[in-house]
Structure 1
């Protein structure tokens, strides 16, 4: 017997990089500095309706995302592993944009060469204007202390564009040697703290986020025993600062992206995502946000992604199916359920996966 149709409220929010850097760095003495060795949110709320045949569980409306405060600088910094945090703080000590730009060029020059055999489609970063490759491997027991509680990851990267190469080098230096969990906890908003907005075009910003997403995906796959070589989505965990509870969990992809609508009703892909999650996870709460319109700078691709430009979504799922599962396992569950979409044009899927008990405890 068909279930009664239930409406679920969704909100699409618009994020953008600020046109100016709102930082208050000290006035450095540049003559003594040889080398320095997303994001505020303005939201547009749009209500759409998703009406599959839901399971019998009641669905609760979740507060609009634009009512949640954007993370402050310190919370973003605290999500970074120590080496990357130091890099960001050193960039922030310089107020001259030219000095920041020169430092980025220095990172490009000092990036260790990448083995040409690794420059394959398997390790190519999608969605970048220039060619970029990222390779990840687990650090062997001989390279890391035996007491390490998590898999450690080492990255290699290269690009045919000097600015992109500098950004890749920054990430390689900041993330190599970190545990997989440290890598996937990194908030992409930290790019705004570097103060490079005057040096980076929107397409470079998108490319940087795609590089980070690729590294996070590969780190997760290594953690889960997949070898870090897949081409589908990236799981980017964002944990609550000072808390073990999830603040925001993301699956991002290194894929290209089209300009999305983000307005009005959910399109075909959004409805398919909702139907799969309703059927398989039987959530007590579900929200889907189409934010494809925020990624108009990405290169276009064919396939089903062209159907209305549905390439980027935020999804929040509250389900008993997550009970007793670690964060990465929850992400893997959603990743597997939406694998067909991720392989056919869905480029970024931001996930917040919680249990009813966790929601009740907030």
Structure 2
């Protein structure tokens, strides 16, 4: 997927993509598992109100996300995924960390096929990669709603 221009990707997501592509297939899976251990904890305000989180139906595992736009116009994505679903949790972590602190315009500029560009197609099932694509799509949709409401 060399067509994806690194210039259009926010720095953290571009760096993550480069890290994955620099590795062999088995090591890519290991890196994804490392990301799964780095999924930020939900802020208490969401842990106490799971109704605020949206289920990502494209994921086989129960994954929930919520995207915020703060007063400075910066994006914060929160996600929860079960520990027994490490690949899905890893994808959620990549996005939560990658979108953190971006502007809405930067998030909207992320190519929809970013998950496919990580070279994980050989390491995990296409269904799992589709799940990450679903997370990104829902995050963008939630963000569009927040921008429209602001």
TM-score (norm 1): 0.38
Which structure 1 segments of 5+ residues have no match?
Answer: 1-71, 142-150, 227-362
Task: Please report how far the alpha carbon of residue 158 of structure 1 lies from its aligned counterpart in structure 2 after TM superposition.
Answer: 1.2
Please list every run of 5 or more consecutive structure 2 residues that lacks an aligned counterpart in the other structure: none
Higher-Rg member (1/2): 1
Matched, 1:80 2:6: no
Distance in 2 (alpha carbons) for counterparts of 1:208 and 1:74: 20
| Number of residue equivalences | 145
Q: CA deviation at 1:174?
A: 0.9
Distance in 1 (alpha carbons) for counterparts of 2:134 and 2:107 = 14
Q: For 1:211, which of 135, 138, 143 is the aligned residue?
A: 135
1:190 equivalent to 2:128? Answer: no
- Once superposed, what is the RMSD of the aligned Cα atoms? 1.9
Decide which of 47, 60, 63 is 1:116's aligned counterpart. Answer: 47
Alignment of 1:67-216 (within 5 A): 73-94=2-23, 96-114=24-42, 115-120=46-51, 122-141=53-72, 151-160=73-82, 161-216=85-140
**2-structure distance, mates of 1:209, 1:118:** 25
> What TM-score, normalized to structure 2?
0.86
Change beyond 3 A, Cα 1:193–1:152 = same
Where does structure 1 differ by over 6 angstroms across 4 or more consecutive aligned residues? none
Q: 1:222 to 1:121 in 2, by over 3 A?
A: closer
1:169 is displaced (CA, Å) by 0.2
Contact 1:184 1:216 in 2 (8 A): yes
C-alpha distance in structure 1 between counterparts of 2:55 and 2:64, whole Å: 4
Displacement after TM superposition at 1:193 (Å): 2.4
| Larger relative contact order (CA 8 Å, sep ≥ 6) | 2
- Structure with higher helix content: 2
Contact 2:59/2:131, CA 8 A, preserved across alignment: yes
